[in-house]
Amino acid sequence: MDILGATLRVCVDDLEASVSFYERLAGATALRFERGGVEVAAVGCFLLMSGPEAELEVLRKVAATIAVTDVDEAHKTLTELGAQVVLGPVATPAGRNLIARHPDGAVYEYVDRRPAQALPGPGTGV
């Protein structure tokens, strides 16, 4: 499994004010999307999230987002090393992801940039 980098997850109260700060800090323009009622802005190595407290409470449990070349390969490697995959792989607006709990209890999101159409369809047994 190739790890390409990591993104720091930051839950914020005021997304607009935070985006402005992080865009200037990172020297990059935010990529914005919404998922499950949570507004998200990806700015450089930061993933800013704002939304209902119940949703943010769950998101805070994930320490970081780790970019990999292939989520399926990450799934295999993580499982072999004793990690528990708790969600995924699933399609996201930016590719595919999975959530894994490492043997030490830390929880991470793993993402790749493979398009959603690369996922097997329902009933394929995969």
pLDDT tens digit sequence for 19-65: 999 999 999 999 998 888 899 999 999 999 999 999 999 899 999 99
The answer to whether position 88 is within a domain reads yes
User: Is residue 93's pLDDT more than 80?
Assistant: no
The answer to whether position 64 is within a domain reads yes
The answer to whether position 86 is within a domain reads yes
Q: What is the CATH number of the domain that holds 35?
A: 3.10.180.10
**Residue-range definition of the domain harbouring residue 68:** 3-118
CB 120 within 8 A of CB 113: no
The answer to whether position 123 is within a domain reads no
The answer to whether position 42 is within a domain reads yes
Domain count, the chain: 1
The answer to whether position 93 is within a domain reads yes
Q: For residue 45, with 0-12 CB atoms within 10 Å meaning exposed, 13-18 middle and 19 or more buried, which class applies?
A: middle
User: Is residue 115's pLDDT more than 80?
Assistant: no
